[in-house]
Chains A and B, each alone.
Chain A
Amino acid sequence: MSPLLACRALTCRFGGVVALDRVDFSAREGEIVGLIGPNGSGKTTLFNVITGIYRPRDGSVTFAGADVTGARPQAIYRAGITRTFQRSRMCLPLSVFDNIMVGNHKRLSHGLVFNLLRRSAFAAELARSFVEARELLNIFSPRLAERIDEPVAGLPMIDRRRIEICRALISRPRLILLDEPSAGMTHEETRELMDDILVVRERMAGLTIVIIEHEMGVIERITQHCVVLNYGRKISEGTFAAIARDRNVQEAYLGVA
């Protein structure tokens, strides 16, 4: 079976810096893939190239059998890839519900007549979306679901991360890219969030997850497959147990002994 996402020889440069150097990366449907590597190794750049924020200099990205190399972020979203951001990108003054609805864009009607004049049809779509958003939030935290009408600005980091993940999930994507979801959280909070992610995956059949993470415990616990980057190159790949034994990986993280 061909993988859901396949990057072939992706290269991305910023001036003289080679952020990605002929990286091959793939994720099979239903898998949780860990993407690890020291700071500046190109993990977030890989996400940015896949989601169309950066154009690759060379190489290709294939998603669900279609070539999406260099496609605009909007097209990538429509194809079924969503993401979260390393530095949480939420609309802080807006409510929790509004933030989740931003992620629901492709399933909402944006016609002028629908939005301005057909208010009862709009109300029905709103009510439907509200129920969905609440159900999704409930998986993560029933307490947070109670606060769906509050502004995000007043919520703690862990709740913002949950909302950001809900925003990425509400449109029922096939692939979700999580960029360091545990950044800025305690160990306990990270563990909670990972439990939630596992629950979500069980409820959403076939959801594929790629996760960037520095906590090796997390990677070990939830991933089936890992890819290690260093200086823009893939230096190792395999199960967590296999890459943890890899000398290249040990050197990248700890330096040459």
Chain B
Amino acid sequence: MAAARLPALVFAAAMTAYGLLFLAAERERAVGALIVAGAAAVALAARFGLLGKVRTSIAAHEGTFDAAAIAGVLVVALWFHEEHFVLLMMTTALLLMTAALGLTVQFGYAGVVNFAGAAFLGIGCYTAAVLTKYTPVPPLLILPLGGAAAALIGSILIFPVLRTRGHYAALVTIAFGILFKTFIEVNDVLGGPQGMSVGPFALAGHSFNDPIRIGGFEASFYFAYVLAALALLVLAFALVRRLERSWIGLSLDAIRLDEVASACYGLDIARWKVFAFTLGNFLAGCAGALYGHVLGFIAPNNFTFGDSLVLVSIILLGGIGNPWGVVAAAAFVVILPEKFQVIQEYRFALYASLVILVLLFRPVGLLPRALRDYFPGRRHETAP
């Protein structure tokens, strides 16, 4: 019997309500109470077997849940349509989710480490800055071009990343991230350490930096950016999830888990690693281009090694290889320190300790990746 649709919808509604409350909470005490309440609710739901019901329901009615989740983000964005800061936070979270999905393809699937996520995000940002400043390229084209620039510049790393393994590959990408920042700092054309401004995103004649007025409805200009970031995330999410549910996803997994056996079964290790690395950088670059438009002004200090570590901690916390885990962890990592000003300064220490705790006690992450289901909700046609 097919699982009920209701638990998935109830869960989506509950998450939307929780998100609303969380973003609306002003005082730190209220935020703290919400965190405690959230943890207690999860624990209680687990105790009464509700989480399992939600999980099977989501798996059986994935389309419904996807639509509900998108609707939930829209509801929250509409609720706060005049609040610049909340909308900016949401946009940032959505874009970091997209970039972290790129990292998921690289690290979660193909096993290629990348500790320079922020650099690839930065390449996207600077592409947007340069293109809006010097060229009349239509903004919609700037997003894929930002991705292409990240993928192209990332290809410098392909050879060293393929030749090294484990810690050494990590060091290669760390070095790249630091070099990127230094390169921008000494480069006057790109604004040097002072940074440079990025022109607004625009679509169908509407500049995204103008406030929105439709009839009696007025919204912050960030509202449009939330919509654009959401659209980008939905595309990236659909791509990554479908990739996982294909022979390509299987090949990437096989290479991560056992290179020798994979080679003996015809898998071209280098080809798939390059594919995953390039695709991941492309996604980070696309997100970065839009992020540049959102910020309006970018500087090398936005793309430090610490920011790369935030991206890595998102995929470790969320559950390696699980797109929904990335979504949950990115929301948490972006919004929590903004709400809890006290921890703002200590946020890296907090993430680090959280990552260590997760790796020690739940190495698969908070929302572990499930077994591959090529067509969820549909049973295999059994042999006659």
Contacts and interface: CB of A to CB of B under 8 A. Distances in A.
A107 to B, nearest CB: 10
B2 interface: no
A: interface residue count bin:
35 or more
Contacts of A102: 250-251, 254, 261-262, 265, 267
Interface stretch (A34-42, A87-95, A229-237, A240-248): A87-95
B260 interface: yes
A25 interface: no
Interface string A119-148: 100110011001100110000000000000
B217 interface: no
A77 B260 CA distance: 12
Contacts of A44: none
A130 B371 contact: no
Interface in A11-31: none
B254 to A, nearest CB: 5
B165 interface: no
A89 B255 CA distance: 12
Contact of B383 (A74, A89, A92, A131): A131
Interface in B240-284: 242-243, 246-248, 250-251, 253-254, 257-258, 260-268
B372 interface: yes
Contacts of A212: none
A112 B248 CA distance: 8
Interface of B: 239, 242-243, 246-248, 250-251, 253-254, 257-258, 260-268, 371-372, 374-375, 380-383
Given A72-B263, A83-B264, A130-B381, 15 more contacts: A73-B263, A74-B267, A74-B268, A85-B260, A89-B260, A90-B261, A94-B372, A101-B247, A101-B250, A102-B250, A102-B254, A115-B246, A119-B242, A131-B383, A151-B371
Nearest to A91: B257
Nearest to B381: A127
Contact of B372 (A76, A85, A90, A98): A98
A123 B375 contact: yes
B52 to A, nearest CB: 17
Main SS at interface, chain A: helix
A66 B82 CA distance: 73
25 contacts: A53-B264, A72-B263, A73-B264, A74-B263, A74-B267, A77-B264, A78-B266, A82-B265, A90-B258, A91-B253, A91-B254, A91-B261, A93-B257, A95-B372, A101-B247, A103-B265, A105-B251, A105-B265, A105-B266, A106-B266, A108-B247, A110-B248, A115-B243, A130-B381, A134-B382
A208 interface: no
B371 A94 contact: yes
Contacts of A103: 265
B376 to A, nearest CB: 12
A149 interface: yes
Contacts of B372: 94-95, 98
A167 interface: yes
A116 interface: yes
B244 to A, nearest CB: 10
Identify the interface centre among B239, B265, B383: most chain A CB within 10 Å of its CB: B265
B253 A116 contact: no
Contacts of B257: 91-94
Contacts of A116: 239, 242-243, 246
Contacts of B265: 77, 82, 102-103, 105, 167, 171
Given A89-B258, A102-B250, A116-B246, A126 B264 contact: no
Interface in A171-212: 171
Contacts of A110: 247-248, 251
A60 interface: no
A101 B250 CA distance: 8
Interface in A61-86: 72-74, 76-78, 82-83, 85
A98 B261 contact: no
The 7 closest A-B CB pairs, nearest first, are A115-B246, A89-B261, A73-B263, A91-B257, A77-B266, A105-B266, A102-B254
A109 interface: yes
